[in-house]
A and B are shown apart, each in its own frame.
Chain A
């Protein structure tokens, strides 16, 4: 397989500007002759679909939700980073770039990250123009806060609902285009196959989730902005419907997968309460600005009420281990530290898998009213779920799967290894390396959607003749459609004994146990035995009731789980072969004496690029070497 990152030459701060000029444009009169498919309507998809339509292309946008406004970007709480330096605290494009490369533990592509930092300021301007009600100060100017591992205040926010407000902004822009007739919205539609004609992406096969009809949609270019695959773990902070099917289908059609094992475990989530648990709820990382994380020093104190544990008997372990960053150290580090203290038997709560996040100091310092203004909605959400009042008792938190840095491999133009197939937002692998910093997912989604994809997709379209879409009776189109129908029929015909949820939960247990916060060779090898067995059992024994041609949530889930059962295996394989620790990928064999991640830059300073080789064949691992010319490779230290 050949692939080329297509990084423009020249100094890093000039690359994007130069590239924008060098990219080809489409004559305004020709734009309406092109049709672009956007799968996903979150920040990357919604903003991208709206922006491409604003340019004059016809856009078909698909989402599995009943409305594009419900994409899971909506759940992001904390904020969005931008190098505005409104605080005069030393921020700059270069610093945001530097922090993101370092935060990603030197496993991201410099040029992409620099571009992300560069367009970050435009994103805030664009959102304000669209009416996003960011938090403001009394003088009327925008407020900022520091967030998740940053030493400058560069995070813009809208209470604890930043993702919601940014998504609503993009959604409104999208609906405006729907009203103008330039975007056709296909809600409650799920992409189940990519159509590739002569090696080029030309459309998708989707299922209408209300009627069950299998539909074919053809286009000049296809963009996937379908989010992450964290739900491979069954329990995660993702929405119930988030899935990896679109990217997995594309992968099996020839799109390489980058760093599948890079998963982010978020340190501040509400702990699991029992087997009935269907998802995990995140408590915004912004809480770590004012909350102090601790566990009892002594195991025997764990069952006590936290108020009965004296100050000197508490271990504020993040402040102790990382004095300069303290409670604000990056996510991977905070998560691992929580696991460590719980493994030592010092975890709190009924399950023993929890640590305290305590606001009593903040309430004393700032007053309850100020704390409520900052975090009121989060405290309320916590109380709803746990029945504990965090103004009175410390919150209990534990890490949970939150984000996948891995995704389809893309070049600088966000184009996959299939020409005509672009990938934006969390669905691609590009910007966060082995660990994503807080408030950077929203930034990447909107950067891709508002600014990068409109330029690079235009450049692609300029190179192909308008109106060269295949017809619906092209053999490749027919075949893709027939495959989807056969897969749906197969799932319905097994009539086994166990529900799709059963298999999903079992897969989740394997993934969390062996490919979760800490991984080792023996465990990963075990997972690589267990997953194919479970997959085999699934295809023999899954029970999907009802019909294909109707609203059928069991069938939807079964199809997603079937793909997770393949994707999970690739994640374990990738984790096994990356014989180093970096960011969220912690291999127990590779750690420093103090238990920190030990990178191996000599052998692993690269992107693992996985090629699908066919059913039953081992996938092939290629590499894209990473060069660090602007940020020097160094051991990450937050001490």
Chain B
């Protein structure tokens, strides 16, 4: 068994969205390198409860790197030091005895802090609601194999669809831009034949909502790609920008639809 560590945490504590927050120092003693980062926080929290202090609130759920709930900036990096790793999949063997660790929430206008390290990411849901879908109500669609999709496109679509919506891209971006997140959805759906009919309206509506949520715009820093735990590529942003230009040039207001028959 490897040796246990003693660490010092500097944790952002903030009672609610209205209060000011501040950093508070906590020792994390006797930490096993086999613990996940969140298990280390569990241990710290159990200690706080024992002392009668309110535990640190942080978002987490699946703890297997897929739900996208966990979200914290560790020593200035969203999800911490390991590439392509969510906080819950980060293990304490990435740290060494005596380390100081600073923990902050995602910081962005579009993600208001709720308490301590938890933030409100419902802006992402509203962006999807604005157009991040294919209109295909449940019923009896055509056979799944009636529409062959080249493997290459399916794979590229899947690469983009791997986004877990955690928001690390926004937290990493100096402009708090959500363009990696939005473009991943644009690519996921826009690379598939099923996604073509709504391709242009989708990009227009999603970008309009993204702006309304106070996310900034992309100026090619590339921090998002570096922080993304799922390896979503910046080429998606380029694809989105192309689609957006095309959509803007070809936009026609809807000309009345149904009615008039029968």
Contacts and interface: CB of A to CB of B under 8 A. Distances in A.
Nearest to B124: A67
Contact of B125 (A50, A130, A187): A187
B32 A74 contact: no
B141 interface: yes
B66 interface: yes
Given A129-B134, A141-B145, A187-B122, A75 B115 contact: no
B143 interface: yes
B144 A124 contact: yes
A175 B132 contact: yes
Given A135-B154, A172-B132, A210-B114, A276 B52 contact: no
A176 B136 CA distance: 10
A178 to B, nearest CB: 5
A176 to B, nearest CB: 4
Given A128-B141, A384-B85, A278 B133 contact: no
Interface string B93-132: 1000000000000000000001100101110110011111
B220 interface: no
A70 B66 CA distance: 8
A273 interface: yes
Contact of B93 (A171, A172, A387): A387
Contacts of B42: 276, 278, 501
Interface string A277-306: 111011000000000000000000000000
B49 to A, nearest CB: 5
A545 B52 contact: yes
Contacts of A278: 36, 38-39, 42, 63
Contacts of B118: 66, 551
Interface in B18-51: 32, 34-36, 38-40, 42-43, 46, 49-50
Contacts of B121: 66-67
Nearest to A451: B138
Contact of A178 (B35, B43, B125, B155): B125
Interface string B57-83: 101111111111100000000000010
A23 interface: no
A136 interface: yes
B177 interface: no
Interface in A98-140: 122, 124-131, 133-140
Contact of A273 (B34, B141, B157): B34
Interface residues of A, number: 82
Contacts of A592: none
B3 interface: no
B61 A130 contact: no
Interface string A426-441: 0000000000000000
Interface string A143-176: 0000000000000001101011100100111011
Q: How large is the interface on B (under 10, 10 to 19, 20 to 34, 35 or more residues)?
A: 35 or more
B55 A70 contact: no
Contact of A126 (B15, B120, B136, B189): B136
Contact of B128 (A161, A171, A187): A171
A44 interface: no
Contacts of A350: 1
**Highest count of chain B CB atoms <10 Å: which of A86, A273, A282:** A273
B49 A178 contact: no
A550 B62 contact: no
B125 A69 contact: yes
Nearest to B63: A279
A240 B151 contact: no
Nearest to B53: A545
B219 interface: no
B89 interface: yes
B39 A134 contact: no
B64 A381 contact: yes
A356 interface: no
A302 to B, nearest CB: 17
B57 A551 contact: yes
B160 to A, nearest CB: 9
Given A67-B122, A187-B122, A172 B134 contact: yes
Given A66-B120, A131-B195, A175-B133, A276 B39 contact: yes
B162 interface: yes
B54 A136 contact: no
Nearest to B47: A499
SS class of chain B's interface: helix, strand, loop or mixed? loop
B32 A274 contact: yes
A84 B125 contact: no
A385 B132 contact: no
A179 interface: yes
A75 B66 contact: yes
Given A66-B59, A66-B121, A385-B91, A126 B138 contact: yes
Contact of A142 (B59, B145, B157): B145
B144 A75 contact: no
A276 B47 CA distance: 13
Contact of B138 (A135, A281, A450): A450
A70 B67 contact: yes
A513 interface: no
Nearest to A241: B61
Contact of B66 (A66, A161, A185): A161
Contacts of A501: 42, 46
Contacts of B145: 84, 86, 141-142
Nearest to B135: A176
A128 B151 contact: no
Contacts of B89: 381, 384-385
A75 B67 contact: yes
Contact of A551 (B36, B68, B114, B155): B114
Contacts of A387: 91, 93
Nearest to B41: A278
B141 A129 contact: yes
Interface in B134-180: 134-145, 147-151, 154-155, 157-158, 161-162, 164-165
Contacts of B194: 128-131
B13 interface: no
Contacts of B64: 75, 279, 281-282, 381
A141 B147 CA distance: 8
Contacts of A241: 61
B6 interface: no
Contact of B188 (A133, A276, A451): A133
Contacts of A168: 161
A130 B66 contact: no
B151 A137 contact: yes
B151 A140 contact: yes
B218 to A, nearest CB: 23
A65 interface: yes
B192 interface: yes
A68 B141 CA distance: 25
Given A66-B122, A130-B134, A159 B67 contact: no
18 contacts: A47-B138, A54-B138, A66-B59, A66-B69, A66-B120, A67-B68, A67-B125, A75-B64, A130-B134, A131-B188, A138-B150, A158-B158, A164-B66, A164-B162, A165-B158, A385-B91, A499-B50, A501-B46
Given A163-B66, A185-B125, 9 more contacts: A70-B68, A70-B69, A70-B165, A74-B66, A134-B154, A140-B150, A282-B64, A384-B89, A551-B118
Interface of A: 47, 50-51, 54, 65-70, 72, 74-75, 84, 86, 122, 124-131, 133-142, 158-159, 161, 163-165, 168, 171-173, 175-176, 178-179, 185, 187, 210, 239-241, 273-274, 276-279, 281-282, 350, 380-381, 384-385, 387, 450-451, 454, 499, 501-502, 543, 545-546, 550-554
Across the A-B interface, the 4 shortest Cβ-Cβ residue pairs: A140-B148, A172-B133, A179-B129, A129-B136
